[in-house]
């Protein structure tokens, strides 16, 4: 069994789907995902409490994750640096295509 592989979030059938976390006080410098994404459809949007994408961190800014990795770095416009959101209330919205599986995510703290 893969690390943290006892449960995953995925869509049913051939439909796309989303998962949104509750907003929390942001203090991360990077987002990593434990993911299986053969279709390359997993994207992450960072958003405020109202669901509005944070500038530069929308789903359209996110590079699709095509990987089977325990710690794939999420990148927006070529960068994985998200420390600019420090101190704000931020939620994560994960967008899936069929066959994508999200096992876990990690918010790597600022150093």
- Give pLDDT, residue 43: 96
Percent of the chain surpassing pLDDT 90: 68
Task: Give 60: exposed, middle or buried? Use CB within 10 Å, 0-12, 13-18, 19+.
Answer: exposed
What pairs with residue 89 in β-bridges? 25
What are the Cα distances from residue 14, in Å, to 73, 95, 101? 26, 14, 13
pTM of the model: 0.90
> Which pLDDT does position 81 carry in this prediction?
94
Judge contact between 108 and 33, C-beta under 8 A.
Answer: no
- The residues pairing with 28 across neighbouring beta strands, listed in sequence order, are 109
**Ranges of H-type helices in 9-109:** none
Statement: residue 73 has pLDDT above 90: yes
Is residue 111 scored above 70 in pLDDT?
no
pLDDT at 3 over 80: no
């Amino acid at each position: 069994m893969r690390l943290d592989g006892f449960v995953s979030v995925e869509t049913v059938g051939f439909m796309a789907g989303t998962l949104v976390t509750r907003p929390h006080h942001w203090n991360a410098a990077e987002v990593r995902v434990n993911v299986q994404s053969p279709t390359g459809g997993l994207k992450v949007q960072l958003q405020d409490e109202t669901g509005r994408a944070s500038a530069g961190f929308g789903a359209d800014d996110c590079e699709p994750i095509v990987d089977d990795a325990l710690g794939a770095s999420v990148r927006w416009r070529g960068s994985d640096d998200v420390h600019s959101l420090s101190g704000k209330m931020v939620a994560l919205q994960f967008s899936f295509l069929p066959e994508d599986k999200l096992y876990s995510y990690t918010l790597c703290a600022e150093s």
